[in-house]
Structure 1
Amino acid sequence: MREMTDREHVGTQYASVDRLETRRSVWGPGPDGVSPVDVLRTLVVSSAARRVVEVGCGTGKFARSVLEEAPGTDYVATDLSPAMVEATRALGVAAEVAPADRLPFADGSFDGAVAAWMLYHVPDLDRTLAELRRVLRQGGHLFVATNGREHLADLLRAAGGEPLVTQFSSENAAEVLGRHFEHVVQRDIETRATFPDHAAARAYLATFAPTLADTLPHFDGPRTYAGRTAVLSAH
């Protein structure tokens, strides 16, 4: 889907926090009780990175959660969306508007970098990863989260669509990161999206696929669908 990496389309998607909050609200741990957000946070905190930059920070909730566990961290969040930067600053996190492929920081400025559920959006994936490599010091770690091709695939198929295939998924993430980092470790995690009713499922689909929202067959009561996510660290 070309619009996934089209900067104007992505800018419209994240012009306000509403769509992102709608998407996040339905997700919970899978059958193993593991949350990928918790896994990602643990990796960042346990790395003891003194300076961390996050690209595509969204509403800043992840950054805030890291700072609550590691308050001494010098954490800088960035996003293309002024609305997301404003929401992040409102949580007391230093944030600025910046594209992930042109970060306004010197070489080797950070011990850690975070790119959570956003690398499938960047127009030039290798340029963005090279930029993240540039701002990391020697031995610094990049922490990444992304979804797999079967992520919510059953919901998409039920609406008459196909699984969402992106440029950066759990199936190819390690190989892509390996072009820029020597060591890559991946953990695959199954999650669950729970919708209390048909209207909630339609509202979720409408945030990124309005035509599928309109074609989702009606169902009664709650529905739960599987998600596929990967959390990776690279250095």
Structure 2
Amino acid sequence: MGVPADYDEDPERFRLGTRVTERYLTGTSSLYERVAARLGGDVLDIGCGEGALSAVPAEAPVRIVGLDASATMLRAHPRPAVRATAVRLPFKDGTFDAAVAVNMLYHLDDPVPAIREARRVLAPGGLFIAPAISRYDSPELAHVWRREPTCFDAEEAPDIVARVFGRGRVEVERWDAPLITLPDQEAVRDFLTARQVAEASVLAGRVHAPVAVTKRGALVLARR
């Protein structure tokens, strides 16, 4: 069962998560910067949201096409942008030099059909990038909140992608470091709220701030 998406019903929750990450990220580049550094040519951003990837300066010439199922998200995304689902991409085979799915495959009941579609629209040698969050993310907050397992956690994501692209075509870059520092209980509350945690204000009161939060995950890359 995929994690329910509420981007049309409650877009402010998503925007709050973006603000928390941007405000309290410490000591490293953002996930979107890591992804953008690998891109060039025509890129399909699957589950593009409001355009976080498009906002990152690319190191090589790049043309990003945003795609999302949420009309609310797409209204804020720079053009070109297309409303569609990840399991039925409205593009011909071999259209893109890269396809990116940043922290969105866990919303699907089964990520494999979407990964197959991403591979289909890639040109030969094209790059697929799918970051995945570890189920052991944010251990410093485990006494008030634990991330529920999903269908595309970092622990299984490389094997899932390899089922589509082939094991010899998959690379993995993992991260495991204190990357966000929440300075006070208000910041902790916002961090939890952005993750759909019930009673976030109450639970934030049980966290001693400031707290450095360890982010764990993997960048899964595959070539067609």
TM-score of Structure 1 vs Structure 2, range by shorter chain: 0.7 to 0.9
2:70 maps to which of 77, 81, 89: 81
Asked if 1:131 is matched to 2:117, the reply is: yes
Higher helix share: 1
* CA–CA separation in structure 2 for the residues paired with 1:84 and 1:202: 24
Could you tell me how far apart the structure 1 residues matched to 2:64 and 2:98 are? 9
Number of residue pairs aligned between Structure 1 and Structure 2: 219
Q: Deviations over 1:63-111 (max 9, x none)?
A: 2325x433x423201112222212212xxx4212211111111111111
Q: Equivalents in 2 of 1:212, 1:73: separation in Å?
A: 39
Unmatched segments (≥5 aa) in structure 2: none
Map 1:143-222 onto structure 2 (within 5 A). 143-155=129-141, 157-159=142-144, 161-182=145-166, 183-191=169-177, 192-207=179-194, 208-219=196-207, 221-222=209-210
Q: Is the Cα contact below 8 Å between 1:36 and 1:230 reproduced in 2? A: no
Instruction: Please say if residues 16 and 190 of structure 2, whose CA atoms lie closer than 8 Å, have aligned partners that are also in contact.
Output: no
Alpha-carbon distance in 2 for matches of 1:106, 1:41: 23
> RMSD of aligned C-alpha atoms?
2.4
Q: Which amino acid aligns with 1:193?
A: I
Q: Is the 8 A contact 2:13 2:193 kept in 1?
A: no
Aligned to 2:35: 40
Residue ranges of structure 1 left out of the alignment (5+ in a row):
none
Partner letter of residue 143 of structure 2? A
Contact kept? 2:174, 2:218, Cα under 8 Å:
yes
Match of 2:216 among 217, 228, 233: 228
What TM-score do you get using the length of structure 1 for normalisation? 0.81
Q: How far does residue 135 in structure 1 lie from its aligned partner after superposition?
A: 1.0
Amino acid of the structure 2 residue aligned with 1:206: T
- 1:113 matched to which residue of 2? 99
Q: Percent identity?
A: 27
| C-alpha separation in 2, matches of 1:27 and 1:147 | 18
